[in-house]
């Protein structure tokens, strides 16, 4: 999909995100990765530009742009630093938008403006040690309808969020709740050491009779979670496209500059074929992501299309970050170049917000329906 298919507003937002990413994120990304530094101050700056609430309505403190504009921002941020990209993705898709979709007027007025401005961060707390892909197996429970007890694992933004969307069992069914950082019985117990995305926060949480504010109807938690993930997967697919684009750019520049056997290695057909396949796959992934984003913005079904975008884009990111390392040769295996960081960052896009195997299951159910039972 080409840029001429975008509106003037979408191109302007994309260019704003690209410029900020190139100037304020990319120069620091290697250090943030090396030091495992979470750049908290950066998100206030993004908030001032309207990029922490791109698709949040203006009346709630956001920029009021469409969902595709938000997806364009995620790709550009992730091209510079995938850790920053996932922080914004989870904050927006999984933390802020569900409050707008399922919250009361009072909840929206209280929680959304500080999130949309970047003054606060949000998190989505669904996964537990015994319930990943099988989210219905969660053990966190509701106590008398007003407090929750349990533990959550691998929560993006967990150490820095102020508002948490938390899911807990209530009478055999899941319900959704909002929990504020600092609430009684709530604690961050561990910050995870990860293969990649080292500039993002991934934490374990515990709740002990923690006061929780109900979001939506009792027993409607899985509906809230699945609807949230349908949109969130499009954001992760955009993150994967951004990582792959970054790898493609560093590989292309290196192929033009690296001399071997009397000239640049870009002369060799093996290198040319790798780059041609990389660019083609990235464009195909981008097209799937934009299609899913446009369907969501139009209020049309997008579960399958989001799954297809995430399945394909995450695979492209993993494969072609590896190809970028291959093109750079020994340099690709060192931290002198960012290709190895892209490779480490890419893998998780096949895992979180629904593994590739779960995406295939979603797509297969749409194809086969009752025949799968």
Q: Which two three-digit tokens encode residue 263?
A: 């000239």
Asked if 174 and 217 touch (Cβ cutoff 8 Å), the reply is no
Give residue 196's Cα distance to chain centre: 14
Question: For residue 132, what pLDDT is reported?
Answer: 78
Rounded distance, CA 319 to CA 58, Å?
Answer: 39
Residue 112 vs residues 56, 90, 253: alpha-carbon distances, Å: 9, 14, 42
Tens of pLDDT along 184-199?
999 999 999 999 999 9
Asked if 126 and 84 touch (Cβ cutoff 8 Å), the reply is no
Residue 2 has pLDDT above 70, yes or no: no
Predicted confidence band at 210 (pLDDT cuts at 50, 70, 90)?
very high
- Strand ranges in the chain using DSSP code E only, listed in sequence order: 122-125, 141-143, 147-156, 163-170, 173-180, 186-191, 202-211, 213-214, 259-260, 263-264
**What is the pTM for the complete model shown?**
0.95
Rounded distance, CA 169 to CA 140, Å?
Answer: 6
Q: Name the DSSP class of 192.
A: P
Give the residue among 107, 29, 8, 17 at the shortest CA–CA distance from 54.
17
Predicted confidence band at 134 (pLDDT cuts at 50, 70, 90)?
confident
- Average pLDDT for 203-231: 95
Rounded distance, CA 142 to CA 217, Å?
Answer: 14
Tens of pLDDT along 153-186?
999 999 999 999 999 999 889 999 999 999 999 9
Mean pLDDT of the chain: 96
Tens of pLDDT along 307-362?
999 999 999 999 999 999 999 999 999 999 999 999 999 999 999 999 999 999 99
Q: Which two three-digit tokens encode residue 133?
A: 């892909």
Residue 144 has pLDDT above 90, yes or no: no
Give the residue among 285, 290, 205, 211 at the shortest CA–CA distance from 245.
285
Indicate which residues carry an active-site annotation: 353
Q: Which residues of 59-70 are buried (b: 16+ CB within 10 A; e: fewer)?
A: ebbbbbbbbbbb
Q: What percentage of the chain carries pLDDT values higher than 90?
A: 94
């Amino acid at each position: 999909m080409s840029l001429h298919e975008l509106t003037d507003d979408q191109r302007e937002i994309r260019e704003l995100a690209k410029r900020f990413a190139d100037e304020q994120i990319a120069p620091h990304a290697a250090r943030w990765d090396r030091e495992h530094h979470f750049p908290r101050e950066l998100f206030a700056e993004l908030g001032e530009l309207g990029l922490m609430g791109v698709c949040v309505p203006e009346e709630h403190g956001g920029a009021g742009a469409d969902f595709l504009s938000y997806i364009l921002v995620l790709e550009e941020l992730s091209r510079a630093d995938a850790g920053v990209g996932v922080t914004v993705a989870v904050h927006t898709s999984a933390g802020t938008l569900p409050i707008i979709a399922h919250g009361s007027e009072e909840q929206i007025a209280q929680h959304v403006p500080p999130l949309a401005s970047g003054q606060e961060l949000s998190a989505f707390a669904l996964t537990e040690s015994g319930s990943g892909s099988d989210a219905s197996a969660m053990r966190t429970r509701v106590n008398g309808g007003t407090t929750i007890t349990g533990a959550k694992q691998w929560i993006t933004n967990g150490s820095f969020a102020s508002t948490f969307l938390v899911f807990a069992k209530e009478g055999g069914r899941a319900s959704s709740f909002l929990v504020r950082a600092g609430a009684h019985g709530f604690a961050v117990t561990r910050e995870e050491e990860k293969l990649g995305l080292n500039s993002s926060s991934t934490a374990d949480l515990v709740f002990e009779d923690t006061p929780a504010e109900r979001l939506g109807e009792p027993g409607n938690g899985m509906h809230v979670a699945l609807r949230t993930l349908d949109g969130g997967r499009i954001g992760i697919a955009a993150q994967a496209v951004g990582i792959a684009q970054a790898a493609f750019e560093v590989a292309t520049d290196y192929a033009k500059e690296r001399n071997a056997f009397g000239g640049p290695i870009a002369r060799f057909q093996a290198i040319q074929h790798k780059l041609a396949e990389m660019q083609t796959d990235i464009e195909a992934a981008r097209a799937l992501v934009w299609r899913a984003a446009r369907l969501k913005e139009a209020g049309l079904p997008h579960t399958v299309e989001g799954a297809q975008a995430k399945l394909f884009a995450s695979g492209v990111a993993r494969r072609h970050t590896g190809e970028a390392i291959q093109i750079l040769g020994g340099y690709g295996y060192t931290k002198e170049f960012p290709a190895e960081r892209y490779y480490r960052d890419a893998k998780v896009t096949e895992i979180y917000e629904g593994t590739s195997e779960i995406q295939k299951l979603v797509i297969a159910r749409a194809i086969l329906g009752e025949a799968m039972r």
